[in-house]
Protein backbone atom coordinates (compact mmCIF):
# COMPACT_ATOMS: atom_id res chain seq x y z
CA UNK A 1 0.00 0.00 0.00
CA UNK A 2 1.33 3.45 -0.89
CA UNK A 3 2.23 5.77 1.94
CA UNK A 4 -0.49 8.19 0.82
CA UNK A 5 -3.23 5.57 0.70
CA UNK A 6 -2.13 4.36 4.10
CA UNK A 7 -2.56 7.86 5.53
CA UNK A 8 -6.28 7.77 4.71
CA UNK A 9 -7.10 4.73 6.82
CA UNK A 10 -8.78 7.18 9.18
CA UNK A 11 -9.65 10.84 8.56
CA UNK A 12 -6.36 12.52 7.78
CA UNK A 13 -4.91 15.77 8.99
CA UNK A 14 -2.73 17.30 6.27
CA UNK A 15 -0.37 20.07 7.30
CA UNK A 16 1.17 22.56 4.89
CA UNK A 17 4.35 24.53 5.26
CA UNK A 18 6.70 26.27 2.84
CA UNK A 19 10.15 24.70 2.50
CA UNK A 20 12.67 27.24 3.76
CA UNK A 21 10.33 29.53 5.71
CA UNK A 22 11.56 31.36 7.71
CA UNK A 23 14.92 29.74 6.93
CA UNK A 24 16.16 26.28 6.04
CA UNK A 25 17.17 25.13 9.54
CA UNK A 26 13.97 26.32 11.21
CA UNK A 27 11.98 24.81 8.42
CA UNK A 28 13.39 21.35 9.24
CA UNK A 29 12.28 21.81 12.82
CA UNK A 30 8.83 22.93 11.64
CA UNK A 31 8.35 19.91 9.39
CA UNK A 32 9.49 17.54 12.13
CA UNK A 33 7.22 19.19 14.70
CA UNK A 34 4.18 18.95 12.42
CA UNK A 35 4.89 15.26 11.82
CA UNK A 36 5.64 14.45 15.44
CA UNK A 37 2.45 16.20 16.59
CA UNK A 38 0.22 14.16 14.35
CA UNK A 39 0.20 15.33 10.73
CA UNK A 40 -0.81 12.36 8.60
CA UNK A 41 0.54 13.93 5.42
CA UNK A 42 3.03 16.75 5.08
CA UNK A 43 2.41 19.13 2.25
CA UNK A 44 5.54 20.99 1.40
CA UNK A 45 5.40 24.09 -0.75
CA UNK A 46 8.39 25.04 -2.87
CA UNK A 47 8.35 28.84 -2.75
CA UNK A 48 7.74 30.69 -6.02
CA UNK A 49 8.23 34.33 -6.91
CA UNK A 50 4.70 34.66 -8.31
CA UNK A 51 2.26 32.47 -6.40
CA UNK A 52 -1.02 33.46 -8.11
CA UNK A 53 -3.00 30.77 -6.31
CA UNK A 54 -2.07 32.06 -2.87
CA UNK A 55 -3.37 34.74 -0.58
CA UNK A 56 -1.19 37.22 1.36
CA UNK A 57 -0.13 34.84 4.17
CA UNK A 58 1.43 32.22 1.92
CA UNK A 59 2.75 34.90 -0.43
CA UNK A 60 4.71 36.34 2.49
CA UNK A 61 5.88 32.87 3.44
CA UNK A 62 7.25 32.36 -0.08
CA UNK A 63 8.96 35.74 0.08
CA UNK A 64 10.57 34.98 3.44
CA UNK A 65 11.81 31.61 2.22
CA UNK A 66 13.21 33.01 -1.01
CA UNK A 67 14.99 35.85 0.69
CA UNK A 68 16.48 33.33 3.12
CA UNK A 69 17.92 31.49 0.11
CA UNK A 70 15.37 28.74 -0.53
CA UNK A 71 15.90 26.70 -3.70
CA UNK A 72 14.49 23.55 -5.24
CA UNK A 73 17.64 21.66 -4.23
CA UNK A 74 17.13 22.68 -0.63
CA UNK A 75 13.49 21.63 -0.73
CA UNK A 76 14.60 18.16 -1.82
CA UNK A 77 17.26 18.20 0.90
CA UNK A 78 14.53 18.99 3.42
CA UNK A 79 12.55 15.96 2.26
CA UNK A 80 15.67 13.78 2.68
CA UNK A 81 16.06 15.22 6.17
CA UNK A 82 12.45 14.27 7.00
CA UNK A 83 12.97 10.77 5.62
CA UNK A 84 15.80 10.16 8.08
CA UNK A 85 13.24 9.77 10.83
CA UNK A 86 9.78 9.53 9.33
CA UNK A 87 7.72 7.58 6.81
CA UNK A 88 4.97 10.19 6.73
CA UNK A 89 3.84 10.84 3.14
CA UNK A 90 5.23 14.04 1.65
CA UNK A 91 3.35 15.87 -1.08
CA UNK A 92 5.05 18.74 -2.86
CA UNK A 93 2.99 21.80 -3.74
CA UNK A 94 4.69 23.61 -6.57
CA UNK A 95 4.07 26.08 -9.33
CA UNK A 96 4.52 24.86 -12.85
CA UNK A 97 7.61 26.88 -13.70
CA UNK A 98 9.53 25.26 -10.86
CA UNK A 99 9.00 21.89 -12.53
CA UNK A 100 9.36 23.15 -16.09
CA UNK A 101 12.60 25.03 -15.54
CA UNK A 102 14.29 21.97 -14.05
CA UNK A 103 12.75 19.79 -16.77
CA UNK A 104 9.94 17.55 -15.57
CA UNK A 105 11.89 14.29 -15.99
CA UNK A 106 14.68 15.50 -13.76
CA UNK A 107 12.32 17.11 -11.24
CA UNK A 108 10.35 13.89 -10.75
CA UNK A 109 13.46 11.74 -10.56
CA UNK A 110 15.06 13.96 -7.93
CA UNK A 111 11.81 14.24 -6.01
CA UNK A 112 11.50 10.46 -5.97
CA UNK A 113 15.09 10.01 -4.85
CA UNK A 114 14.49 12.45 -2.00
CA UNK A 115 11.44 10.48 -0.84
CA UNK A 116 8.51 12.48 -2.21
CA UNK A 117 5.19 10.62 -2.51
CA UNK A 118 2.98 13.03 -4.40
CA UNK A 119 3.16 16.25 -6.39
CA UNK A 120 0.48 18.87 -6.89
CA UNK A 121 1.24 21.53 -9.47
CA UNK A 122 -0.97 24.47 -8.51
CA UNK A 123 -1.21 26.03 -11.97
CA UNK A 124 -1.36 22.86 -14.01
CA UNK A 125 -4.93 21.81 -14.80
CA UNK A 126 -5.65 18.37 -16.25
CA UNK A 127 -5.40 19.74 -19.80
CA UNK A 128 -1.74 20.66 -19.32
CA UNK A 129 -0.73 17.58 -17.33
CA UNK A 130 0.75 15.81 -20.36
CA UNK A 131 4.01 17.46 -19.41
CA UNK A 132 4.34 15.43 -16.20
CA UNK A 133 2.11 12.34 -16.30
CA UNK A 134 4.68 10.00 -17.82
CA UNK A 135 7.24 11.03 -15.24
CA UNK A 136 4.77 10.54 -12.43
CA UNK A 137 4.04 7.08 -13.78
CA UNK A 138 7.69 6.13 -14.17
CA UNK A 139 8.72 7.29 -10.72
CA UNK A 140 5.58 6.10 -8.97
CA UNK A 141 4.92 9.58 -7.66
CA UNK A 142 1.21 10.24 -7.26
CA UNK A 143 0.00 13.21 -9.29
CA UNK A 144 -2.47 15.15 -7.16
CA UNK A 145 -5.11 17.40 -8.72
CA UNK A 146 -7.56 19.94 -7.37
CA UNK A 147 -11.31 20.06 -7.86
CA UNK A 148 -13.11 23.31 -7.07
CA UNK A 149 -16.69 24.49 -6.66
CA UNK A 150 -16.49 25.78 -10.25
CA UNK A 151 -15.40 22.42 -11.69
CA UNK A 152 -18.31 20.98 -13.69
CA UNK A 153 -19.21 17.26 -13.31
CA UNK A 154 -17.66 16.12 -16.59
CA UNK A 155 -14.36 17.69 -15.58
CA UNK A 156 -14.49 16.04 -12.15
CA UNK A 157 -14.63 12.69 -13.91
CA UNK A 158 -11.76 13.60 -16.22
CA UNK A 159 -9.62 14.83 -13.31
CA UNK A 160 -10.40 11.79 -11.15
CA UNK A 161 -9.32 9.50 -13.99
CA UNK A 162 -5.98 11.23 -14.19
CA UNK A 163 -5.35 11.76 -10.49
CA UNK A 164 -3.36 9.66 -8.08
CA UNK A 165 -3.31 9.67 -4.28
CA UNK A 166 -6.29 11.79 -3.31
CA UNK A 167 -8.37 14.60 -4.73
CA UNK A 168 -7.67 18.02 -3.26
CA UNK A 169 -11.07 19.67 -2.95
CA UNK A 170 -10.76 23.44 -2.90
CA UNK A 171 -13.53 24.56 -0.59
CA UNK A 172 -14.07 27.96 -2.14
CA UNK A 173 -13.50 30.05 -5.24
CA UNK A 174 -10.45 32.18 -4.65
CA UNK A 175 -6.98 31.95 -3.20
CA UNK A 176 -5.54 30.43 -0.04
CA UNK A 177 -6.11 32.15 3.28
CA UNK A 178 -7.91 31.62 6.59
CA UNK A 179 -11.68 32.06 6.65
CA UNK A 180 -13.98 32.49 9.65
CA UNK A 181 -16.30 29.64 8.75
CA UNK A 182 -16.34 26.62 6.50
CA UNK A 183 -17.25 27.73 3.01
CA UNK A 184 -20.86 27.14 2.03
CA UNK A 185 -19.63 25.60 -1.18
CA UNK A 186 -17.76 22.84 0.69
CA UNK A 187 -20.62 20.48 1.56
CA UNK A 188 -22.20 20.35 -1.89
CA UNK A 189 -18.74 19.95 -3.40
CA UNK A 190 -17.88 16.97 -1.21
CA UNK A 191 -21.28 15.42 -1.89
CA UNK A 192 -21.13 15.66 -5.67
CA UNK A 193 -17.49 14.60 -6.01
CA UNK A 194 -18.15 11.63 -3.70
CA UNK A 195 -20.78 10.43 -6.15
CA UNK A 196 -18.23 10.40 -8.94
CA UNK A 197 -15.18 8.78 -7.38
CA UNK A 198 -14.00 6.46 -4.66
CA UNK A 199 -10.69 8.33 -4.23
CA UNK A 200 -9.95 9.89 -0.84
CA UNK A 201 -11.18 13.50 -0.75
CA UNK A 202 -9.17 16.05 1.19
CA UNK A 203 -10.72 19.46 1.75
CA UNK A 204 -8.55 22.55 1.89
CA UNK A 205 -8.51 26.36 1.55
CA UNK A 206 -9.69 28.54 4.38
CA UNK A 207 -9.79 25.90 7.12
CA UNK A 208 -8.35 27.44 10.26
CA UNK A 209 -9.79 25.82 13.38
CA UNK A 210 -11.15 22.64 14.93
CA UNK A 211 -14.78 23.53 14.31
CA UNK A 212 -14.25 23.87 10.60
CA UNK A 213 -12.09 20.75 10.49
CA UNK A 214 -14.72 18.70 12.28
CA UNK A 215 -17.45 20.05 10.00
CA UNK A 216 -15.42 19.08 6.97
CA UNK A 217 -15.05 15.50 8.13
CA UNK A 218 -18.71 15.35 9.13
CA UNK A 219 -19.57 16.49 5.63
CA UNK A 220 -17.70 13.48 4.27
CA UNK A 221 -14.14 14.67 3.70
CA UNK A 222 -11.51 11.96 4.17
CA UNK A 223 -8.92 14.54 5.06
CA UNK A 224 -8.51 18.17 6.01
CA UNK A 225 -5.72 20.38 4.68
CA UNK A 226 -4.53 23.37 6.69
CA UNK A 227 -2.07 25.88 5.28
CA UNK A 228 -2.44 29.56 6.08
CA UNK A 229 -3.29 28.94 9.74
CA UNK A 230 0.00 27.07 10.17
CA UNK A 231 1.97 29.62 8.20
CA UNK A 232 0.52 32.37 10.40
CA UNK A 233 1.89 30.64 13.47
CA UNK A 234 5.30 30.51 11.77
CA UNK A 235 5.09 34.17 10.83
CA UNK A 236 4.05 35.24 14.32
CA UNK A 237 6.85 33.31 16.03
CA UNK A 238 9.63 33.48 13.48
CA UNK A 239 11.93 35.11 16.04
CA UNK A 240 11.25 32.62 18.82
CA UNK A 241 11.88 29.00 17.73
CA UNK A 242 10.91 27.49 21.07
CA UNK A 243 7.54 29.17 21.17
CA UNK A 244 7.07 28.39 17.49
CA UNK A 245 7.65 24.71 18.13
CA UNK A 246 5.27 24.71 21.11
CA UNK A 247 2.47 26.53 19.30
CA UNK A 248 2.78 24.37 16.20
CA UNK A 249 2.72 21.20 18.29
CA UNK A 250 -0.36 22.34 20.21
CA UNK A 251 -2.19 23.46 17.09
CA UNK A 252 -1.42 20.27 15.20
CA UNK A 253 -2.46 18.06 18.08
CA UNK A 254 -5.74 19.93 18.48
CA UNK A 255 -6.52 19.77 14.77
CA UNK A 256 -5.62 16.11 14.61
CA UNK A 257 -7.92 15.36 17.51
CA UNK A 258 -10.73 17.33 15.90
CA UNK A 259 -10.33 15.42 12.66
CA UNK A 260 -10.11 12.01 14.33
CA UNK A 261 -12.78 12.28 16.97
CA UNK A 262 -15.67 12.98 14.69
CA UNK A 263 -18.55 10.72 15.55
CA UNK A 264 -19.50 8.84 12.43
CA UNK A 265 -16.25 9.78 10.74
CA UNK A 266 -14.91 6.96 8.60
Partner 1 sequence: MKKGRFGAYGGQFVPETLMAALAALEEGQKTICRSREFQDELALYLTEYAGRETPLTFCRNVSDDMGCRVYLKREDLLHGGAHKLNNTLGQALLARHMGKKRLIAETGAGQHGVATAIAGAVLGLPVEVYMGETDCTRQHLNVVRMELMGATVIPVSCGTATLKDAVNEAMRDWAASSEDSAYILGSVVGPHPYPRMVRDFQTVIGKEARRQILEREERLPDAVIACVGGGSNAIGIFYPFLGDDVALTGVEAGGRGIEPGEHGASLGHGRPGILHGALSYLLQDDDGQVLGTHSIAAGLDYPSVGPEHSMLRDTGRVRYESVRDKEVLEAFRYLSRREGIVPALESAHAVAYLLRERDRFEKDDIVIINLSGRGDKDITREVVHEQN
Among the listed residues 21, 40, 50, 54, the single catalytic one is 54
Query: Who's near 78: CB < 8 A, 6+ residues apart?
Result: 19, 20, 24, 27, 28, 31, 44
The answer to whether residue 245 is catalytic is no
Q: Give dist(CA 263, CA 266) in Å, integer.
A: 9
Element holding 142 (H helix, E strand): strand 142-147
Peptide bond into 22 cis (omega under 30): yes
Q: Which of 21, 40, 43, 209 is catalytic?
A: 43
Does 150 engage in binding with partner 1 (CB under 8 A)? Answer: yes
Q: Is 67 in the site for partner 1 (CB under 8 A)?
A: no
User: Is residue 6 a contact residue for partner 1 (CB under 8 A)?
Assistant: no
Q: 54 an active-site residue?
A: yes
Instruction: State phi, psi for 216 to the nearest 5 degrees.
Output: -65, -45
Instruction: Establish if 71 lies at the interface with partner 1 (CB under 8 A).
Output: yes
- For position 92 contacting partner 1 by CB under 8 A, the verdict is no
CB of 5 to partner 1, least distance (A): 23
Q: Are 222 and 167 in contact (CB under 8 A)?
A: no
Residues 6+ apart with CB under 8 A from 247: 233, 236, 237
Q: Which residues contact 196 (CB under 8 A, 6 or more apart)?
A: 153, 156, 157, 160
Show the binding pattern over residues 191-220: x = contacts partner 1 (CB under 8 A), - = does not.
------------------------------
Q: Out of 2, 173, 261, 266, which residue is the one contacting partner 1 (CB under 8 A)?
A: 173
Shortest approach of partner 1 to residue 146 CB, angstroms? Answer: 4
Task: Decide: is 79 part of the binding site for partner 1 (CB under 8 A).
Answer: no
Number of shown-chain residues binding partner 1 (CB under 8 A) = 41
Q: For residue 76, count CB atoms less than 10 angstroms from its CB and return exposed for 0-12, middle for 13-18, buried for 19 or more.
A: buried
Kindly tell me which residue out of 84, 127, 161, 195 binds partner 1, with binding defined by CB under 8 A.
127
Chain contacts with partner 1 (rule: CB under 8 A): 48-56, 59, 63, 66, 71-72, 95-98, 100-102, 122-125, 127-128, 145-148, 150-152, 155, 159, 170, 172-175
* Catalytic site positions: 43, 54
Amino acid sequence: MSRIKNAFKGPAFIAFTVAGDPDYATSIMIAQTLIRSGADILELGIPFSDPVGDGPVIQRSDERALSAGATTDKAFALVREIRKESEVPVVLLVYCNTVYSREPARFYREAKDAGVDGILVVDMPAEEAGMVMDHAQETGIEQIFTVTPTTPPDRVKKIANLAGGFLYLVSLSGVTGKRETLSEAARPLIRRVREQTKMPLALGFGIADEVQARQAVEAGADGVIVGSAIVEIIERNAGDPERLERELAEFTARMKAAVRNVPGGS
